[in-house]
Amino acid sequence: MQSSKPRVLFVAEDLTVAQIVRLVALARRLDPAVFDVHFACRDFDPLLFAGTAFERARLFSIDKVAGLKRLAKGDKIYDAPTLGRYVEDELQLFAEVRPDLVVGDFRLSLPISCARARVPCATLINAYWSPYAIRDAFPVPEHPIVNLVGPERAARYMPQALPKAFAYFAAPLNVVHERYGLPPLGMLEQLTAGDFVLYPDVPELCPTQDLPAHHLYLGAVEWSPELELPGFFAELDREKPLIYVTLGSSGALEALPVVIEALADLPLEVVISSAGRTQLSRLPANVRAVDYLPGQAAARQAALVITNGGSSTGYQALLEAVPVLGIAFNMDQYLAMTAIEKAGAGLLLRTGGLRPEAVRKAVLRLLDDARFRHAASKLQAAFAKLDCHERFASVLARALDPFTSGTSGSKFPRP
């Protein structure tokens, strides 16, 4: 017999750690006396799910290494048959779990399967992907063509190329839309489809305009592994600025040797978290490396955080009023870091053509110019105004209220 408590199912794609841990952070704060919480994804890494007690279900996802390689080549991550399988697997999962609400993070098929199953769907997505985002232009990400013509020339042609590129990436999911009798959507609309669209951002950093009522800012969704800082932190020279470096699960690893070379002869303490992706040896005297760190605690002690440009570690830094140097590779990282740079709280470097002298120059500028820390402090105050867990609780109240759950702004009609 199904529990009388509302049943909330979290479904994560597994391309990056961020897509899992943001949902884990929200799910683990739900009171098990009030909610029946389930979580579905491909793998349940003990580091990511430590201390959680919700019901788990394994769900097919594409191989993340292969998916990120395709993205690096400028190709589609998914094809229509794969997305069709996603929908079929999700419908089977819904039949077993019988959720009252489904919450997803970059699981593009969920709005289709939720519409088919007549289950409300909440989509977590950064506001810089929103069709309602206020932006000057889309940045030029890394791409084989950019390497040939250069970023400046590529930027000139970006406005003409972007509609075709977005249509190319949207095509596979629209094949599945048609199969289920649903209307086609543009790429940005696909990313933000759902009965509720939740932005783990603040408007001061990622502004939007004319938002529909079902689009909501949550504020930053914080997560760090439940680890202690390594003992060597007590041995660091506190007279020297501490630089915390991590490229996360999706940054370009080839940037790490460049960063290390850039910082080796500077009067700094450098701590690197490799996220378990590579083993670093023969490091300079001022550089230490470990697989994992409690990111929030490391950022709290740092004078500067060097990241892949993405929102996860970038926001950890801003929550501690620490400036960010983002070495971006994919479009998500470029969008996040463009917003941080525009707010004056960091600098953006491209992975392509990265040189030690550019990293060194950017690091020294970020450390020497107090305006970067001042801007980071302003964003820290903006993040402090929004409690993601309180705001998520208000979304749950709306989504699970039988009198309001059918009044969302979903573009997908319930069959």
| Same domain? 84 vs 197 | yes
| Same domain? 153 vs 47 | yes
| Same domain? 379 vs 390 | no
| Same domain? 175 vs 247 | no
| Same domain? 380 vs 391 | no
Q: Mapping DSSP to helix (H, G, I), strand (E, B) and coil, where does residue 280 land? A: coil
d(CA 385, CA 130): 21
Give the per-residue pLDDT at 305: 98
Q: Closest Cα partner for 55 from 97, 19, 102, 5?
A: 97
**Position 82 in a domain:** yes
Chain segment 189-222, per-residue pLDDT in tens: 999 999 999 999 999 999 999 999 999 999 999 9
* 330 close to 141: Cβ distance less than 8 angstroms: yes
Look up tokens 């999962």; give the residue.
Answer: 93
- The boundaries of the domain holding residue 366 are 231-384
From the DSSP assignment, how many helices (H) and strands (E) are in the chain?
15, 13
**Position 90 in a domain:** yes
Give the per-residue pLDDT at 3: 62
**Position 409 in a domain:** no
Strand 196-199, strand 121-124: pairing: parallel
| Same domain? 323 vs 209 | no
**Position 92 in a domain:** yes
Per-residue b/e over 359-390, b at no fewer than 16 CB within 10 Å? bbebbeebbeeeebbebbbbbbebbeebebee
CATH number at residue 288: 3.40.50.2000
| Same domain? 13 vs 120 | yes
Residue 220's contacts (CB-CB under 8 Å, 6 or more residues apart) are 200, 201, 202, 315, 318, 319, 383, 386, 388
Give me the number of domains the chain comprises: 2
C-alpha to C-alpha distances, 198 to 23, 163, 209, 342, nearest whole angstrom: 11, 25, 15, 22
**Position 157 in a domain:** yes
Give the per-residue pLDDT at 75: 84
| Same domain? 72 vs 103 | yes
**Position 49 in a domain:** yes
Within the chain, which residues score under 70 in pLDDT?
Answer: 1-3, 144, 147-148, 154, 402-415
| Same domain? 266 vs 182 | no
Give the per-residue pLDDT at 415: 38
d(CA 188, CA 140): 16
Q: Closest Cα partner for 325 from 334, 335, 314, 315?
A: 314
**Position 248 in a domain:** yes
**Position 321 in a domain:** yes
| Same domain? 151 vs 204 | yes
| Same domain? 75 vs 16 | yes
Does the predicted model carry a pTM greater than 0.85? Answer: yes
| Same domain? 264 vs 358 | yes
